[in-house]
Every structure is written in C-alpha cells, then in structure tokens.
C-alpha cells in the first residue's frame, strides 16, 4: 500500500465527506495528504463549508486515521482492489469528467484495452417485458461487437443489460450505489459474481460497508455516464432515475444520449418518449444505430482527442461534417488493425482471424469494432470482410 492510497482511503472514510466534496478538497489543497493536514480554520474558508461543517470534517479526519487498516483488511477478504485516479487501470473517459472519483473500489478487472469503447444502458427498475427484452437485445449485440456495457446493477433494465452482455461473452461493468461489502439488490449476488469472475468488474466509489441509500444513486449515475461514450435509455417513466443519468451525460459530460421508443400509451415509456420529443436523445431502434452514433466519439477516444473535443460541451450530438470522412489513411491504424486488414484476403470468422493473426479473441472483437466504426470492414453473417471502396 502506498502513502497516497492510505491518504485517499482516509478521506473516503471521513464522516461528512462525500465523493464530490473529497474531489473538491483535493483540487483545493493539491493532494489527499495535504487535505489530511487541513485545519478547521482552513476548511472554513472553502466555498460552501461553514464553521459547523468544517468542525465536523476536522473531527472526522482525526477519527478516520484509525479506520484505514480495517478497510484494507476487509477489502482483502472480499477480493476488492483499489484503483486510484491517474493509475493506468483507471478508466480514461471517467478520468476526464469534472471531479472524477479519486479512488474506485473494484471487484473483477478494469481493462483499458478491452474496455476502450464503453456504452451505458439504463432504464427503470419497474420495467415491462419489452424493456427487459430490448435491454438484453441491445446489450448482447453491442457486447458481442466488442463494446463494454455499463449499467447500475439494479433490478429491471440494468440487470437485463448485464445479463445480455454476459450471454454474448462480452464485458460489462456494474456501478453500485453502495459499498462492495453490501449486495444491492440482494438477488443480484450471483450476477455480480459472474461479472467479477472474468467478464468485467463491479465497482463503487463508496467505503465497503456503505449501505444502499437514495442519496448515493445520483452520484452513482455520474460514474455510469462518465464511464461511457454514450448512454442508451431503454425504458423510463417520468420520474425514473435513468433520466438523471441521461441529463448528466448530455449536460455535464458532453456525451451522446440515445433512447428507445416505447408504446405511446405506456407510462413505463413516458420519460423515454419525452426525451426523444424534446430533442434530448437520439431515437434508436437497432444496435447498429448506436454504433453509427458513437462513430465520432469513439474515434476521438481512440485517437486521444475525446477530452478536448467533448468535455465541457453542452451541445448534444455535435458532429462536424469533416468527421464523417471515410478515407482516414493508414497512419490512423494500430498495429493490430493493420495485421487484421492484411490478413483479410477473404472473409473470415473471428476465430479464423484469431488463429491466423495470433491475436487474442477479445482483442480481435475490439479492433474489429474500431475498423467497423472507421468503415474499413463489414460483417457478412458470421464473417468479417474488407469493405469495398
């Protein structure tokens, strides 16, 4: 354990400090270590922290010093690791949002390469059979194409999205609104175990024993949005929490927002339909629509220009015509993509490509998705072929 991790855990365990305020304090003081040295009078001078709250934080910092060892021991017993902002494993898109979580608790594995193109799928807990079917359908196809499916681990649409990704043997990330020593909802324990056991990660920014509470879910939603290139609202009523995720994605993170149409007389789809009517979401009816809409943000993410182009933008679906060009030149290809294109003298299956190139199947899926986005290859049934110019 590094000193930096110790200092971050101390802040995480301090009474009166939520994830957003921890980020503000680190930004103000420069590091978690310096925050730990903060005096009551110094804390009072920070915007929106009055004398009473400053005293509570100062006392909490003193008490939290003795809690770190117990948190580390519990994490070890649960198989939970810590990933700090700035580390290689920390998701790049999440790192670019304002006040990104300084530390993530992780069961399973975050993979910068395999999770390069994430998409969030959210919706109501009290969804219809239609919502379940469509969440599984979209998640399965998108995960099979190499995108990582992100959702909140809740009942209803979230669980269906995770199941769809697992069925396609793709990757999925569940973001919980409680600590990882708690399982909420309890009936998803097996689902979370399957995710953590090789097909993704179950993550939280909250201390391990934090109980599920309504106040935790809006901040959980900002992580779901921050992890993804875009958010798909499958089915949402007027007051669905998934609409909060959509708003954060569009207004705070400058990410794509998409929504599926539902029955016009269904209360379960009122929020989704309202998003579409007001221009807050692009209408999608097929997973191919999602890949097309994510073309530009995915390419900017791949080229390392996503943050400068999208962060801070409040304009939905900002796409320049020059971004749609097909002729991007060989310089924009990775070594793996060049190998795949050189090997595709005839249409091949994923397994045949893996065997011929020596690339791992999960790497093949991710690279093929990027080549599809760049319009260099097309799918012909179960085979991949070079696109004819």
326 Cβ contact partners less than 8 Å away, ≥ 6 residues apart:
374, 375
For residue range 14-62, what is the model confidence (pLDDT) as tens digits?
Answer: 987 887 788 889 888 989 999 999 999 999 888 778 888 899 999 999 9
* pLDDT classification of 324: cutoffs 50, 70, 90: very low
179 Cβ contact partners less than 8 Å away, ≥ 6 residues apart:
105, 204, 206, 207, 208, 209, 210, 211
Domain ranges (residues) in the chain? 3-78, 92-299, 325-389
User: pTM of the prediction?
Assistant: 0.79
Superfamily assignment of 3-78 in CATH? 5' to 3' exonuclease, C-terminal subdomain (1.10.150.20)
Q: Give the integer Cα–Cα distance in Å for 261 and 161.
A: 17
Exposure of 317 in the CB half-sphere (CA atoms within 13 A): 11
Nearest-10 Cα torsion for 39, 41, 47, 50: 110
CATH number of 325-389: 1.10.10.10
Report the range of poorest mean pLDDT among 65-79, 262-276, 293-307: 293-307
The 8-class DSSP code of residue 319 comes to -
- The percent helix, strand, coil of the chain (3-state, each to 5) is 50, 10, 40
pLDDT at 292: 86
pLDDT at 381: 75
Distances (CA, A) of 189 to 120, 154, 172, 328, 375: 21, 11, 15, 45, 40
Q: Give the integer Cα–Cα distance in Å for 335 and 85.
A: 28
Taking each helix axis as running N to C, give the angle between helix 129-144 and helix 157-167, from 0 to 180 degrees, rounded to the nearest 10.
40
Tokens of 261: 């149409």
Share of residues in the chain with pLDDT > 70 (%): 89
Q: Give the integer Cα–Cα distance in Å for 67 and 73.
A: 10
Q: Give the integer Cα–Cα distance in Å for 11 and 16.
A: 10
For residue range 212-251, what is the model confidence (pLDDT) as tens digits?
Answer: 988 888 889 999 999 999 999 999 998 888 999 999 998 8
pLDDT at 286: 93
Q: Give the integer Cα–Cα distance in Å for 119 and 287.
A: 11
Q: Is residue 362 exposed (0-12), middle (13-18) or buried (19+ Cβ within 10 Å)?
A: middle
Q: Can you name the CATH fold of 92-299?
A: Rossmann fold (3.40.50)
* pLDDT classification of 92: cutoffs 50, 70, 90: very high
Dump strand ranges (E) for 226-376: 230-233, 256-259, 282-283
CA end-to-end distance (rounded Å), the chain: 54
Token pair 């399982």 in the structure block, residue = 183
Q: Give the distance between the most distant pair of CA atoms in the chain.
A: 71
Local structure of 76: helix, strand or coil: helix
Q: Give the integer Cα–Cα distance in Å for 253 and 230.
A: 10
For residue range 162-200, what is the model confidence (pLDDT) as tens digits?
Answer: 999 999 999 999 999 999 999 999 999 999 999 999 999
């Amino acid at each position: 354990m590094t000193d930096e991790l110790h200092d971050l855990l101390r802040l995480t365990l301090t009474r009166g400090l939520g994830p957003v305020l921890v980020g503000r304090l680190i930004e103000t003081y420069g590091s978690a270590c310096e925050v730990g040295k903060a005096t009551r009078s110094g804390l009072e001078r920070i915007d929106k922290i009055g004398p009473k709250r400053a005293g509570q934080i100062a006392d909490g910092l003193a008490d939290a010093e003795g809690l770190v060892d117990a948190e580390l021991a519990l994490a070890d017993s649960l198989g939970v690791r810590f990933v700090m902002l700035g580390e290689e494993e920390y998701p790049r898109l999440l790192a670019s949002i304002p006040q990104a979580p300084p530390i993530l608790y992780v069961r399973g594995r975050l993979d910068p390469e395999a999770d390069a193109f994430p998409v969030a799928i959210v919706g109501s807990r009290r969804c219809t059979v239609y919502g379940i079917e469509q969440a599984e359908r979209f998640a399965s196809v998108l995960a099979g194409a190499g995108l990582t499916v992100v959702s909140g681990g809740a009942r209803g649409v979230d669980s269906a999205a995770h199941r769809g990704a697992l069925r396609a043997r793709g990757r999925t990330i569940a973001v919980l609104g409680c600590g990882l020593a708690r399982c909420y909802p309890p009936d998803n324990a097996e689902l979370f175990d399957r995710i953590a056991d090789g097909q993704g990660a179950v993550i939280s920014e909250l201390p391990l024993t934090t109980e599920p509470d309504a106040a935790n879910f809006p901040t959980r939603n900002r992580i779901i949005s921050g992890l993804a290139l875009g958010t798909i609202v499958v089915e949402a009523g007027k007051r669905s929490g998934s609409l909060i995720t959509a708003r954060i994605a569009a207004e705070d993170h400058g990410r794509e927002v998409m929504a599926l149409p539902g029955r016009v007389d269904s209360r379960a789809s009122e929020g989704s339909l309202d998003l579409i009517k007001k221009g807050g979401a692009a209408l999608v009816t097929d997973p191919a629509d999602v890949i097309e809409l994510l073309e530009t943000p995915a390419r900017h993410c791949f080229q390392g220009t996503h943050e400068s182009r999208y962060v801070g933008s409040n304009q939905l679906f900002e796409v320049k015509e020059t971004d749609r060009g097909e002729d991007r030149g060989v310089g924009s290809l990775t070594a793996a993509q060049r190998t795949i294109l050189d090997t595709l003298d005839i249409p091949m299956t994923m397994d045949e490509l893996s065997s011929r190139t020596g690339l791992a199947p999960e790497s093949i899926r991710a690279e093929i998705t990027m080549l599809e986005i760049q319009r260099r290859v097309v799918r012909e049934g179960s085979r991949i072929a070079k696109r004819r110019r």
